[in-house]
Amino acid sequence: MTASQTSGILVITRHSESEWNLVGKWTGLTDVNLTDKGRADSVLLGKQLHDIDFDGVYTSTLKRTQQTLEGIYAGKGQPTPPFSQSKALNERDYGDMTGKNKWEVQAEVGDEAFIGIRRGWEYPVPGGENLKAVYERAIPYFKTEILPRLQHGENILIVSHGNTIRALMKYLDSISDSGIEKVEMPFTSILIYTFTRDKELPVRKETRSIETTSTHA
């Protein structure tokens, strides 16, 4: 493979089930732990990645991503490597919604407003961030810190959060503002993108998944 064809692999996965996911609360920046199930599922994620060695690992500053990383490497049968953590990869700040039960809010505000708060691109979140705001912090960080490593043929793992990953997907998969409202990032999914030296966007995408009974998002 020539230098111009050198490919790097980007793997993105969401943290596994947290204590607040289990009870249906909007978590945002609240720094909660994984559940026992979340810890077990993170090991399964690692087993799905047994064939990929990573040159760099990135998480948010929140411990549920770092606990997931520990589980992933346990599943790979390797010690947890040094990793970089950044607020740019943190979950959305849900502002006034933080700590509220999602399904109770849905009953209070109606389906349209609920979907807007939960999945909308620019829908206002009182005291917090919409998805556009997450995009505006996550994508510059990705382009500056991670993309050059991928273009030089390195393999990179990102363990982040549902909405932050949706922001990354919007960029990597060229999804429209309206289209991103329909995009989910389940706990079960692993996204694998292949990059080449001369392109900013991936040239190939693969999805892997684990078997889990978790339904919380």
- Tokens 């919604």 sit on residue: 97
15, 17, 70, 161: the catalytic one is 15
Q: What gap in Å lies between CA 29 and CA 93, rounded to an integer?
A: 6
Does residue 160 contact residue 14 with C-beta atoms inside 8 Å?
Answer: yes
| Catalytic residue flag (residue 91) | yes
Does residue 89 contact residue 168 with C-beta atoms inside 8 Å?
Answer: no
H-helix segments, the chain: 19-22, 36-48, 63-76, 102-109, 111-119, 131-141, 147-151, 162-172
17, 70, 91, 129: the catalytic one is 91
| Catalytic residue flag (residue 15) | yes
Q: What gap in Å lies between CA 83 and CA 57, rounded to an integer?
A: 5
Q: What gap in Å lies between CA 151 and CA 8, rounded to an integer?
A: 6
Q: What gap in Å lies between CA 36 and CA 39, rounded to an integer?
A: 5
Supply the residues annotated as catalytic: 15, 91
